[in-house]
Structure 1
């Protein structure tokens, strides 16, 4: 088609001079020139500013990504029990994988998996048994200490140096009001207890399903992953392998590191509580251990409970010492154990962790606080592995704003 025919079809007229001018140009230049005269030819919009077109493009892409994330969260909420079970199974797999690999050198892998799971169950059951035995053995003396401690606290509130005094009659009135509230809301309390009983059944169901999945992840994890890769197109398998390697490296490092840090925190708390002669040192140490799995929330909660026990049993000074000691353990964890154990496997800024934990807690409660950090750490590791960065700037490449001169028009 000649340029004159194209001009007649597009509704534009070209002068002989412009035709001669475009005769020696490239096809791309001719298309740009034609678009400027008639934007409908190639869909080039000249009326909107460039910055507005860029923002609009970014906006609709962000909307699509946000919609995809919302769909994933909605689908997960519909099968929450399955998601929790798979997550726990991955945690079990990350913790027990080194043990299975070591035992698989001297026995079949299936038998090694059975031994590793049995060892994990024995450790968990032994820990809980020791806690129950400690509580049962100290229950009588602890009850007496609690009674004396509560009397001391009441005396301190009545006659202490506080600017506000609380009398025994006021405390009795509060107890009576609490009793009346329980009587009036007995039906709601019973329904919540029934719902909690159902939640306990769901927890055991999730643990059973997680154990079942862990057996196959530990014994046949490589075959399962190979089957998944074979379902993908060949051109995308390398990217999936790269992303999965980065994600599993981060998740397993975070999980094993958290277990090591939790055991260290529990051991240090147990030693401190024994030295301070706080009753139920072992159960409180286990509580500190469990609290280490909940970022930013678990450690303060465990510290408050330990301080309450120390306050009721040994007085305010003991409670203050327990709080200071557990706070120091938290600082030791954050500044020494975390960098030493985690290393570069989980590279999230503390501000990001705080925001992620807060968002996870608002979205899914305690469960969200527990799983939000490893999920975001895995997502960031995969993104960092797959993205392509331009060479970073050096400090010498950035001019000092004070020395910059305005651009002359």
Structure 2
């Protein structure tokens, strides 16, 4: 991470040089004069902003680690809590059902079981998929010799927790590093990324995640964007499982309404008579 921060000015200068070579220095100078731009100052400003951003992120990680060391004594209690959760956790649904009216306990238990299945399958599957993506990218980056392979793979693994939008975010730093290194490296990186995404989409996700969520991709993207605007990073991470829980509750409430109202039964009877 520190090496990537130190080399940001170099990458910025290389991008400017490659752009000048691409369109020609004379045309580049004319564009500068016409628009009144000082590209050197602009690139330096962007470089300084990127450096400050990464340094702030790096210092934030250091602050987090420092805070983490202050709660080591609290973390020691986690194994004991986990033991009792595993030992008595199955009693919790029946305890909750004790507060539910007797006639609704069967339906309420089915709702809790389905919520549990949706959330647990999503969390386990998403963590495994993210780990597989990070491992495959790290191996691919090592094979092609891309700089900062481990950092870029870890970034990709962490962002892959967010469906659909995560990979688009993760590819950005890898594209910058590869494009500055050489055009051939950029091509190799794109090939590695494409192969990993194909493996993930065709083999890993279908086998691990399956079709348990039954949520349309457009709905997932909309939910993630909305939750991100409302609740930030926490909302982005919890958007899909939260939506799955609400979907289960809404579905069962609608089924209960259909059964109790009798309106839909009359509609089916009329259709059968016709």
Asked if TM exceeds 0.5, the reply is: yes
Instruction: List gaps (5 residues or longer) in structure 2.
Output: 50-55, 259-263, 266-270
Q: TM-score, normalised by structure 2?
A: 0.69
Deviation at 1:320, TM superposition (A): 3.8
Is 1:326 the counterpart of 2:193? The answer is yes
Q: Distance between the aligned counterparts of 2:123 and 2:91, measured in 1?
A: 23
- Size of the aligned set, in residue pairs, is 240
| CA distance, structure 1, for counterparts of residue 219 and residue 166 of structure 2 | 18
Give the superposition deviation at 1:351: 1.5
The answer as to whether partners of 2:133 and 2:156 remain within 8 angstroms in 1 is yes
CA distance in 1, matches of 2:232, 2:113: 30
Cα distance change on mapping 1:228 and 1:201 into 2, 3 Å: farther
Report the counterpart of residue 164 of structure 2 in structure 1.
Answer: 296
What is aligned with 1:380?
Answer: 247
Pairwise CA distance, 1:291? 1.1
* Alpha-carbon spacing, 1:270–1:305, altered in 2? closer, same or farther (3 Å): same
Q: 1:294 to 1:214 in 2, by over 3 A?
A: farther
1:165 is paired with a residue of what secondary structure?
helix
Change (3 A) 1:330 1:385: farther
Please name the residue that 2:21 is paired with: 159
The structural deviation recorded for 1:378 is: 2.4
- Residues 223-232 or 348-357, more deviating: 223-232
- Cα gap change, 1:307 to 1:172, in 2 (>3 Å): same
Shift of 1:250: 0.7
SS at match of 2:212: coil
CA RMSD of aligned residues (A): 4.2
Distance 1:179 1:143 in 2: 10
Change (3 A) 1:337 1:288: same
1:287 aligns with 2:155: yes
For residues 47 and 8 of structure 2, the distance between their equivalents in structure 1, rounded to whole angstroms, comes to 21
Structure with greater helix percent: 2
Would you say 1:266 and 2:134 are equivalent positions? Answer: yes
1:153 deviates by 2.6
> Do 1:250 and 1:378's aligned partners in 2 also have CA atoms closer than 8 Å?
yes
Q: What are the within-5 Å matches in structure 2 for residues 171-250 of structure 1?
A: 171-174=39-42, 214=82, 216-250=84-118
Contact 1:246/1:385 (<8 A) preserved: no
